[in-house]
Chains A and B, each alone.
Chain A
């Protein structure tokens, strides 16, 4: 059976997306695919049992039957950390191995997702490289290429991994359009010269960073005033409307797929947002807008949602929502598959784990 551990240089690198996309592609090629995220760090309660949010998402998007407990055998709780620090024996290695062998049964390939960053879990001897060597698999490193200094991170990661044979290769993810040329012409040859296989360079993609309005409604615990039919539209950006209407129009025109956050009493900003056809209006402070404004929003098909929190708090929550959205929509999964297929050497990844492709 083939397997690979998908690790990352930093949080929010797109690791889960790669796992999900890779899983889908391999399954479509006729393989029986298994997935696990041995250490759950984004704990959520699903039907009365604790699990990891990413793992739960992938399980449902890929339609996996394995029990949640096996997919994520270890939960990174405060007590687990305390025990690790005190030195209480928790038999974590055994739990890991047992779950891995259960998952492996009847599978052609198992994709293992790492925890947060590459070194996470070192305090209880389960950092990503340690897990990889324990279960005898190689690592695929996903690095978000937010600046040229990502190269430093990759080289550092290689030093953490110690055994260069464990690293199958890297994917450079979310590369901004203006850096693309530099990355393909300078960075890739440089890394390859250092003996690091670069499987692919994936450009930054709006669809993946975007979040549907329905998730904003949920994330902000908002009330929908009008526009229920447009809740599955995606938002890429948010802007705060606190200027006069003339400037607001200019500001709103500059960014696509925007949600505008403003007060319920700012009818001028609300109308500027409607006029410039933003994706969604988020009204803060639980102040209802005027009937005439609501009517205009409804006519334009723009959802207006009302939140109790003030603008500052709403901005903080939006910051969490946009760019960190978990993949829950088929549209996004399709997009991931598309990006992987057109930018990543999938054949080489398969070959690195001796899997037919």
Chain B
């Protein structure tokens, strides 16, 4: 669909200019410099621009110019008309470089909407507005005003910041990294990251997809598309606005809500996207995927001429969850035969400071042949007798022919620069630090499992949806935004066991219900105005007889009135006291970008302090629910430590899947929390003790 966008028969530049320093001239020059045949400048003053025949308007351009891409570089207020003319001229693709749209304010936003409507009317697809343009190294298209043209390669890069595009281009120019396609997304009025992910998935010239994003436009679609794309090509994304101040800047820049970082983390993980922590990491990882074959496991060999570097690398590997390989006997024997006696023959292999290029190369080949090795990190320090450049020359062929990734860190500065240049000239990266080499190796190894993963779809459990439907409809019609203990039936209708309880309005009723349920009991205040019952004295535990209940009832009412005089009290809930279980929490918050974000963690009073929680975007599969439970740091406490009996983890997983279905079935549920969910010993299930919903009543 977008093929002609990147490989047009003819390109018109609307707003082409002959004036030095104008964007309209830079774009034209870039197009001309890269061998596009039919280039048509459009400018109200016709005549010639840079030797090309210019036309007054796009409708004046003759059909034989076969223009199927228009690059627009005129002031914002004229852009809608220009797109309309493109539509009438049958041009299906436009790149709007011009700024002054939504990023500039209300009037700009109106123009942007107008542009989009015109595009939709004619079926025109638009990149931008407010962008740097697009590049395709295969077709030789450079429809940007960037100072560099990209080298040919297999990385497709898209960026929500035009300036970051120029940084990437310049970095790639120096490090000899090539791109297949290059897209500056701009304001994403029409085409966005999802469109390009889909396009790059089927683009033969692209092997690696990377992106700088400030947000995604359609989260649920993004997850679906990325889940498919990442199975055939690695997708590396750096997403800015991680912190509160960062997200403020994103909002200010784009007029969108950055969305919670936890949601992005979960969505990226669930869809197999590799998240880079920085711009340079995104570029490093892209280059690694572009340059190397994928390792088949996580066993890494380190070859070094400096013991210190080897140890640092071993530490970094271990922190990243990479294994240091155990060599086969034949490898060790071969190394013993060729390396000096003082050398270290086990991983990390230390060939010693005076190792010649031949010794290095032989050690590398020996380790490479070992079946227990999936990838190699090669380190070279510039000691007095080290032949850095010769080593680089010697290893180039080995690296290029290898079916395992060999990542190099020629460490140092001046003395390694020639060796570094040798590697780069041959398309082999030299990582400026061993840590960056390890991060790239980790990504390569991780992708191996992403690529091969089986996607299990969420199972549908049979539930009593109509009961919940009635409760929610009632809340909506009564404008009840907050539902608390009185809505425990929602959980029951979705098959989650809830504690035996009743809501009462008076003390005599409380005593009566307590006698009926059986002591000990717990009393909780029922009020949609109170979200933290403990803080206002709204929970009384372990009441053993009627006197306890009476004392607790009276003092609780007095406390609640004192601490929250404005709170509306709907009654008191009397619960059977449950003990002997572990408290966990299941929550959900509807994220503006991705929808229902499930949360799981250890529960109780300390949950807000510990922040030991895991997140997943619902709906979740059984595997995903398992991952949620096992990925919190305090998981061993649930699984049972020091001979303690394990908790019923399967019942938590079951509850997560049911909640996932509940929040997917009812978009009216904006927020949700079971706190605590009491998990009993293995085989004895779990019980919801308290619940709170926020409902969208419109």
Tell me the A residues contacting B by CB distance below 8 Å: 147, 176-178, 181, 226, 244-246, 249-250, 253-256, 265-268, 270-272, 274-275, 289-296, 298-299
Establish whether residues B105 and A245, one from each chain, have CB atoms under 8 Å apart when the complex forms.
no
Q: What is the minimal beta-carbon distance from A300 to any residue of chain B, in angstroms?
A: 10
A265–B255 CA distance with the chains assembled, in angstroms = 13
Establish whether residues B244 and A244, one from each chain, have CB atoms under 8 Å apart when the complex forms.
yes
A80–B104 CA distance with the chains assembled, in angstroms = 58
Given contacts A177-B568, A178-B568, A272-B257, contact A291 B106 (CB under 8 A): yes
Establish whether residues A292 and B244, one from each chain, have CB atoms under 8 Å apart when the complex forms.
no
Tell me the B residues contacting A by CB distance below 8 Å: 102-106, 108-109, 113, 244, 247-258, 260, 479, 481-482, 505, 527, 565, 568-570, 589, 592, 670-671, 694, 696-697
Given contacts A245-B247, A254-B694, contact A275 B257 (CB under 8 A): yes
A299–B101 CA distance with the chains assembled, in angstroms = 13
CB neighbours of A177 from chain B (8 A): 568
CB neighbours of A289 from chain B (8 A): 252
Known: A245-B258, A271-B256, A291-B106. 4 other contacts (CB 8 A): A176-B568, A178-B570, A246-B589, A274-B257
Which of A267, A268, A291 lies in contact with B103, CB distance below 8 A? A291
A272–B565 CA distance with the chains assembled, in angstroms = 29
CB neighbours of A255 from chain B (8 A): 481
Establish whether residues B251 and A250, one from each chain, have CB atoms under 8 Å apart when the complex forms.
no
Establish whether residues A253 and B481, one from each chain, have CB atoms under 8 Å apart when the complex forms.
yes
Establish whether residues A268 and B109, one from each chain, have CB atoms under 8 Å apart when the complex forms.
no
Given contacts A178-B570, A253-B694, A291-B108, contact A296 B255 (CB under 8 A): yes
Q: What is the minimal beta-carbon distance from B670 to any residue of chain A, in angstroms?
A: 5
Given contacts A178-B570, A249-B592, A270-B251, contact A291 B105 (CB under 8 A): yes
CB neighbours of B249 from chain A (8 A): 267
Establish whether residues A292 and B479, one from each chain, have CB atoms under 8 Å apart when the complex forms.
no
Establish whether residues B570 and A295, one from each chain, have CB atoms under 8 Å apart when the complex forms.
no
Q: What is the minimal beta-carbon distance from A268 to any residue of chain B, in angstroms?
A: 4
A245–B250 CA distance with the chains assembled, in angstroms = 12
Establish whether residues B251 and A256, one from each chain, have CB atoms under 8 Å apart when the complex forms.
no
Establish whether residues B244 and A268, one from each chain, have CB atoms under 8 Å apart when the complex forms.
yes
CB neighbours of B244 from chain A (8 A): 244-245, 268
Most B-side CB within 10 Å, residue of A181, A290, A291? A291
CB neighbours of A253 from chain B (8 A): 481, 670-671, 694, 696
Q: What is the minimal beta-carbon distance from A338 to any residue of chain B, in angstroms?
A: 17
Establish whether residues B255 and A295, one from each chain, have CB atoms under 8 Å apart when the complex forms.
yes
Most A-side CB within 10 Å, residue of B106, B108, B244, B247? B106
Which of B106, B257, B481, B482 lies in contact with A271, CB distance below 8 A? B257
CB neighbours of A294 from chain B (8 A): 105-106, 255
A295–B249 CA distance with the chains assembled, in angstroms = 16
Q: What is the minimal beta-carbon distance from B599 to any residue of chain A, in angstroms?
A: 12
CB neighbours of B257 from chain A (8 A): 245, 249, 268, 271-272, 274-275
Establish whether residues A292 and B481, one from each chain, have CB atoms under 8 Å apart when the complex forms.
no
CB neighbours of B479 from chain A (8 A): 256
Which of B103, B527, B670 lies in contact with A292, CB distance below 8 A? B103
Given contacts A176-B568, A226-B106, A275-B592, contact A290 B258 (CB under 8 A): no
Which of B106, B569, B592 lies in contact with A295, CB distance below 8 A? B106
Q: What are 17 A-B interface contacts by the 8 Å CB criterion?
A: A177-B568, A178-B568, A245-B251, A249-B589, A265-B248, A266-B248, A267-B248, A268-B258, A271-B258, A291-B103, A291-B108, A292-B102, A292-B105, A292-B252, A293-B251, A295-B108, A296-B255
A253–B113 CA distance with the chains assembled, in angstroms = 28
A226–B505 CA distance with the chains assembled, in angstroms = 48
Establish whether residues A298 and B568, one from each chain, have CB atoms under 8 Å apart when the complex forms.
no
Which of B252, B569, B570, B694 lies in contact with A293, CB distance below 8 A? B252
Establish whether residues A293 and B255, one from each chain, have CB atoms under 8 Å apart when the complex forms.
yes
A247–B524 CA distance with the chains assembled, in angstroms = 25
A293–B256 CA distance with the chains assembled, in angstroms = 7
Q: What is the minimal beta-carbon distance from B152 to any residue of chain A, in angstroms?
A: 36
CB neighbours of A246 from chain B (8 A): 260, 589
A69–B153 CA distance with the chains assembled, in angstroms = 88
A299–B505 CA distance with the chains assembled, in angstroms = 46
A267–B254 CA distance with the chains assembled, in angstroms = 10
CB neighbours of B252 from chain A (8 A): 267, 289-290, 292-293
Establish whether residues A268 and B248, one from each chain, have CB atoms under 8 Å apart when the complex forms.
yes
Q: Write the chain B residue with the least CB distance to A296.
A: B255
Which of B251, B481, B482 lies in contact with A268, CB distance below 8 A? B251
A147–B254 CA distance with the chains assembled, in angstroms = 48
CB neighbours of B589 from chain A (8 A): 246, 249-250
Most A-side CB within 10 Å, residue of B105, B565, B697? B105
Given contacts A253-B694, A291-B105, A298-B106, contact A271 B255 (CB under 8 A): yes
Most A-side CB within 10 Å, residue of B104, B252, B481? B252
Q: What is the minimal beta-carbon distance from B241 to any residue of chain A, in angstroms?
A: 9
Q: Write the chain A residue with the least CB distance to B506.
A: A182
A210–B140 CA distance with the chains assembled, in angstroms = 63
Q: Write the chain B residue with the least CB distance to A179.
A: B568
Q: What is the minimal beta-carbon distance from B593 to any residue of chain A, in angstroms?
A: 10
A181–B506 CA distance with the chains assembled, in angstroms = 12
CB neighbours of B568 from chain A (8 A): 176-178
Which of A250, A268, A299 lies in contact with B671, CB distance below 8 A? A250
CB neighbours of A226 from chain B (8 A): 106
Q: What is the minimal beta-carbon distance from B644 to any residue of chain A, in angstroms?
A: 35
Which of A178, A181, A292 lies in contact with B255, CB distance below 8 A? A292
A256–B113 CA distance with the chains assembled, in angstroms = 29
CB neighbours of A256 from chain B (8 A): 479, 481, 697
Q: Write the chain B residue with the least CB distance to A226.
A: B106
Most A-side CB within 10 Å, residue of B106, B249, B257, B671? B257
Q: Write the chain B residue with the least CB distance to A148.
A: B561
Q: What is the minimal beta-carbon distance from B544 to any residue of chain A, in angstroms?
A: 29
A268–B260 CA distance with the chains assembled, in angstroms = 11
Given contacts A268-B247, A290-B252, contact A298 B260 (CB under 8 A): no
Q: Write the chain A residue with the least CB distance to B527.
A: A178
A294–B569 CA distance with the chains assembled, in angstroms = 40
Establish whether residues A295 and B481, one from each chain, have CB atoms under 8 Å apart when the complex forms.
no
A289–B105 CA distance with the chains assembled, in angstroms = 10
Q: Write the chain A residue with the least CB distance to B260.
A: A246
Establish whether residues A295 and B251, one from each chain, have CB atoms under 8 Å apart when the complex forms.
no
